[in-house]
A and B are shown apart, each in its own frame.
Chain A
Amino acid sequence: AQSVTQLDSHVSVSEGTPVLLRCNYSSSYSPSLFWYVQHPNKGLQLLLKYTSAATLVKGINGFEAEFKKSETSFHLTKPSAHMSDAAEYFCVVSPAGGTSYGKLTFGQGTILTVHP
C-alpha cells in the first residue's frame, strides 16, 4: 500500500522569496516520486521526478526536490518565487512493482499563492 501526505493545503509567499511545499509518503516498494503542477482549468504538468538515481532532483522552472528516505519526505523547493508559479501542486507516488504497478497515488494538493 502507498500513501502521500501534503502537509500544507495552502502556501502563500511574496514574489522573490523562497518556496517550500512539503510532502511525506509511504510505500511498500521502492517508489518513484513526482511533483506535478496544475494551473486553473488546465491539465497537469510534470515538474520533476525521482526514480532512485540522485536524491536531489532538478526540475523545470527552477524547482527542485530532495528525496530523504530516512524521513520519507520529498519536499519541493524554489529559491525565488515568480508570479507565474501560482498554481496547485501535487506530490505523487508510483510504486515500482506489486499489484498497484502503474497506479499513481496523489496527495491532496497544495495551492501556492504568490503576492506581488
Chain B
Amino acid sequence: GAVVSQHPSRVICKSGTSVKIECRSLDFQATTMFWYRQFPKQSLMLMATSNEGSKATYEQGVEKDKFLINHASLTLSTLTVTSAHPEDSSFYICSAREILGWSSYNEQFFGPGTRLTVL
C-alpha cells in the first residue's frame, strides 16, 4: 500500500523558534497533501490543503503566516511553524492523495504524525 512518512516524529523546541515538519509520499506521487492538527483526545482538524506548485489553501482561523506550507515536489510537502509558542504544541498529521485517473475517488494516506512540544 501507499506509504506516507513524516519527519521528525517528535520535536521539542523553545518558544520563539521555528520548526519544520516534512511529509513525504514514499511510493506514489501526490499532487495534493493535507495538514491536520490534533489536540489530546480530540479529533483531527484540517489546517490547510497543499497543492504541488501552488499556494496552500488555509482553513478559516488558521494563520498562514504562522504555519508556512511548501509543496515543492510531487512527493514532499513541508509545514513550518514560525515563532512557535506553547499553545502550538500539538500532534501534526499530514496526508497525501494519490491520483489515479481511472478512479472516481482518490484515497488519502496518512503519515504517522509529528508530536511538537514548545517549551
A and B are partners in one complex rather than unrelated chains: no
Q: What residues make up the interface of A, taking CB atoms closer than 8 Å to B? A: none
